[in-house]
Structure 1
Amino acid sequence: MSASASTANPDAQPTRRRIPKVPFWAQIVAGLVLGVVLGWVTRTYDVQWLHTTLDQVGHIFVQLLKLAVAPLVFFAILVSITNLRKVNNAARLATRTLLWFMITSLIAVAIGLTIGLLTNPGAGTGLTPKDGEKPESAGSWLDFLTGIIPTDVITPFTELNVLQIVFMAAVAGVAALKLGEKAQPILTFSESVLALLQKALWWVIRLAPIGTVGLIGYAIADYGWDLIGKYATFTADVYIGCALVLFGVYPLLLATVAKVNPVQFFKGAWPAIQLAFVSRSSVGTMPVTVKVTERLGVPKEYTSFAVPFGATTKMDGCAAIYPALAAIFIAQIFDVQLGIGDYLLIAFVSVIGSAATAGLTGATVMLTLTLSTLGLPLEGVGLLMAIDPILDMMRTATNVAGQALVPVIVAAREKILDHDAYNAASSSPIDDEDEDAYGVRDAERKVTVPATA
């Protein structure tokens, strides 16, 4: 008599049906939809407890991201600079990276100025100078130049002055390179701390869908569609300008300069772009940006330098498109006529002063720096603060896309891009169990940049 399989093997375990894993992008989209619904309910029915809850959820998520910013930036920059010792012709690679940062910023600011001049975003808003409010602090060129060097080593971390943290990390990294083997214990410690910070930040990033509910819900509940209507032209200008750079300029540069498929770039970089849209923080997104850039075939040693450097200085959305449009908007509200010289100044500030934004949520410092350079009333900043969170999502997504784009372009031009990896890049989510983002566990190896481009 035959027996059933279960009788024949009584120790066999029953097959368990696994719950399908929801893709990270789908979690983000679900968070966006739920946030909009809850925000609408809160504003329509004046649900105060829900309003407070949404505010706290979004605030806690942003604070968790900021908590890791100071040490993450310091150790990421330090380790990335020391990783350049594994790259031949590193100085030329760094110089070309900076050059492409400037080129793409100039293109972005030109698009911002063009859109602003064509649409007149400050006309017909109903806003007046009385609606403006002067910010508590403002950026100036003197503050920018003198503020690079800290007065002590503690304050930049407690006050989250990212520019000063970058300065100290760069000095420490160069000093470590000069010391050679004597600095190895410090480098080993730095690499371990960076790996620890990265792991902790991954846990925060996993909370992004929940943070999305709070951030979007609070924005809708607090500002409402009526306020957005007053800034309709300006809001549309920012989103259209960023979209033109993100989906127009970047693909064109990839196709003509890097000579690679632009669609593959977006497939590979999408996890970082979508997280940037939600978190509104280039620095908070930096570990993901590093990994997607590596996945696009850029050598890890070069990526670990270019992306952290870009996350603190490369801001096509916040430091190019946005201040150009904002300057035109505020000038029209305050009835100030801008000339050719003013537009050239906006371009200059966008290229040189972009490090002032420092990759944090918002772009107030860059905006006040631009307005003070042009002599425009700083009260104009108050006009834009109410709508800023909604604008900042698209700005940051553009920032992060640019931070991944430039390493791809430079690597392709220098013939160190892995085209097989680039063409195989997919939009699958980045897992925190992937390889270390900053290459601190790599065996010693050299990435050779050809002597001639």
Structure 2
Amino acid sequence: MSVSSPSSFTKYLKVPFWAQILAGLVLGVLLGWLARSQDISWLVTTLEKVGDTFIGLLKLAVAPLVFFAILVSITNLRKVNNAARLASRTLLWFMITSLIAVAIGLVIGLVTNPGAGTGLTAADGAKPEHTGSWIDFLTGIVPTDVITPFTELNVLQIVFMAAVAGIAALQLGEKAQPILNLSESILELLQKALWWVIRLAPLGTVGLIGKAIATYGWDLIGKYATFTADIYVGCALVMFVVYPTLLATVAKASPLQFFKGAWPAIQLAFVSRSSVGTMPLTQKVTERLGVPKEYASFAVPFGATTKMDGCAAIYPAIAAIFVAQIFDIQLGVGDYLLIAFVSVVGSAATAGLTGATVMLTLTLSTLGLPMEGVGLLLAIDPILDMMRTATNVAGQALVPVIVSAREGLLDRKAYDEAHASPIDEPEREKQASEPVPVAA
């Protein structure tokens, strides 16, 4: 028997990653439509299990991944010149892009009136089980013990503990080196395992998209047509107009090259609806775009937990206008300024996980809008969250590129060759089996 012919799995790996995702998307739509139109309950259940299993595998590594990624990223800053300047510039650009995104969301909401003509009333809403407020946000940052944040997947508290541990390690210097070596090894192990999960994204796409079509069909989208269109248009404007403009004018870099390099992470974010789950891939493509590894290992994990232009800027702005119109409440200039403030300061509340309910409840409570409005949006949320998360991840890759370019750190040659992504050419780079490096 000949062993020289390539196996089916090897042939599969040679298919570009974007093509695998696209094939999964098309198959998911077809299976979802078939399950709904023919009322095939077992197919609906199968699609749901496949999608839930994929998301479950992503979430399985979230807590330790966030902790060790933040810890290692903070300690890696000691290897970078002007680390404090880079960190402050990163935060500044996070805020600038968030302000632009929330402004676009407010304009779209005011122009289109998404809550008008929907047929929805206040009686259709229901209060969520958990709501967010500024007191909860501020007091919830500090954990009461070291176990609960991991068991309850409170990413904000995990980030806090990791930041404290990272700063303490920097203060200890050489004494903390054994712990840092262990942390880097654990992080590489987690990223290796998570990379295997990422390779299952095409299969997860079939389940997630198929479940959405089979469960909701097009009827629900029609009921929320204006609101859904507003979210997608707003995210598209930020991703394909604002970001390219910033790249061309501020970074003096080709927008097309950016999307060629970052597209694998953006498409995975669209499917998985998880910024944290996409983080290893986001860091990989950011490094391939010419951002120094030491800086990327700080900026990307930091952005994956705090940089949410889709979930924390565009979405709450349009959603607040939608809820106010359903409940017949007039918003003033002061309310719109509050929305912008919440979007910039409270974005960490979204924590990079699927959904943006916490951020929405935080916005509604700040404006004094009824919490029942959250119930109006929960059904449509999975469909919206795909585009929101894709926008989040695009922004998380964008800011390190801009900051690197402004500081003269960007490898222009690597940026110009970013289209030759190893993710699209696994037969050359064996990308499917490589972990994401986080340290020099």
1:42 and 2:35 correspond? yes
Query: How large is the RMSD of aligned CA atoms in angstroms?
Result: 1.3
The offset of 1:245, in angstroms, is: 0.2
1:149-228 to 2 correspondence within 5 Å? 149-228=142-221
Deviation track 1:44-101 (CA, whole Å, cap 9, x = no partner) reads: 1111111111111111111110000000000000000000010111001100000000
Instruction: Choose the corresponding residue for 1:272, options 220, 241, 265.
Output: 265
Cα contact 1:108–1:245 (8 A) shared by 2? yes
Distance 2:96 2:198 in 1: 31
| Number of the residue aligned with 1:437 | 437
1:315 and 2:308 correspond? yes
Deviation track 1:99-121 (CA, whole Å, cap 9, x = no partner) reads: 00000000000000000000000
Instruction: Choose the corresponding residue for 2:18, options 15, 25, 34.
Output: 25
| Number of the residue aligned with 1:16 | 5
The offset of 1:428, in angstroms, is: 3.2
SS in 2 for 1:351: helix
Distance 1:18 1:134 in 2: 53
Distance 1:277 1:98 in 2: 24
Percent identity between the aligned chains? 82
Task: Report the residue type matching 2:195 in the other structure.
Answer: W
Task: Report the residue type matching 1:299 in the other structure.
Answer: P
Deviates more, 1:225-234 or 1:14-23: 14-23
Deviation track 1:277-300 (CA, whole Å, cap 9, x = no partner) reads: 000000000000001000000000
Instruction: Choose the corresponding residue for 1:415, options 404, 408, 426.
Output: 408
Cα contact 1:199–1:432 (8 A) shared by 2? no
Distance 2:420 2:373 in 1: 40
Task: Report the residue type matching 1:77 in the other structure.
Answer: I
| Number of the residue aligned with 2:354 | 361
Gap regions ≥5 residues in structure 1: 1-12, 443-453
1:297 and 2:283 correspond? no
1:286 and 2:275 correspond? no
Deviation track 1:153-187 (CA, whole Å, cap 9, x = no partner) reads: 00000000000000000000000001011001100
**Count of residue pairs the alignment pairs up:** 429
Deviation track 1:388-418 (CA, whole Å, cap 9, x = no partner) reads: 0010000000000000000000000000111
| Number of the residue aligned with 2:340 | 347
Cα contact 2:280–2:436 (8 A) shared by 1? no
Cα contact 1:271–1:427 (8 A) shared by 2? no
Distance 1:24 1:112 in 2: 31
Cα contact 2:65–2:190 (8 A) shared by 1? yes
Cα contact 1:25–1:429 (8 A) shared by 2? no
| Number of the residue aligned with 1:100 | 93
1:329 and 2:322 correspond? yes
Distance 1:313 1:117 in 2: 26
The offset of 1:224, in angstroms, is: 1.1
Deviation track 1:164-214 (CA, whole Å, cap 9, x = no partner) reads: 000000000000001011001100110110011000101111111111111
Cα contact 1:58–1:214 (8 A) shared by 2? yes
SS in 2 for 1:372: helix
Distance 2:6 2:231 in 1: 47
The offset of 1:16, in angstroms, is: 3.4
Cα contact 2:192–2:436 (8 A) shared by 1? no
SS in 2 for 1:136: coil
1:386 and 2:379 correspond? yes
Structure 1 residues 165 and 435, CA, compared in 2 at 3 Å: closer, same or farther? closer
SS in 2 for 1:218: helix
Computing the radius of gyration from Cα coordinates, the structure with the larger value is: 1
Instruction: Choose the corresponding residue for 1:406, options 384, 399, 403.
Output: 399
| Number of the residue aligned with 1:425 | 418
Cα contact 1:24–1:429 (8 A) shared by 2? no
| Number of the residue aligned with 2:426 | none
The offset of 1:236, in angstroms, is: 0.4
Task: Report the residue type matching 2:75 in the other structure.
Answer: T
Deviation track 1:7-56 (CA, whole Å, cap 9, x = no partner) reads: xxxxxx89636764221111111111111111111111111111111111
Cα contact 2:127–2:372 (8 A) shared by 1? yes
Cα contact 2:63–2:155 (8 A) shared by 1? yes
TM-score (norm: length of structure 2): 0.96
| Number of the residue aligned with 1:445 | none
Task: Report the residue type matching 1:417 in the other structure.
Answer: L
Cα contact 2:281–2:436 (8 A) shared by 1? no
1:71 and 2:60 correspond? no
Deviation track 1:327-366 (CA, whole Å, cap 9, x = no partner) reads: 0011111101000000000000000000000000000000
SS in 2 for 1:337: coil
Task: Report the residue type matching 1:142 in the other structure.
Answer: I
Distance 2:369 2:91 in 1: 29
| Number of the residue aligned with 1:141 | 134
SS in 2 for 1:258: coil
Distance 2:421 2:71 in 1: 30
Gap regions ≥5 residues in structure 2: 424-430
TM-score (norm: length of structure 1): 0.93
Structure 1 residues 259 and 49, CA, compared in 2 at 3 Å: closer, same or farther? same
Cα contact 1:64–1:204 (8 A) shared by 2? yes
1:62 and 2:51 correspond? no
| Number of the residue aligned with 2:230 | 237
SS in 2 for 1:266: helix
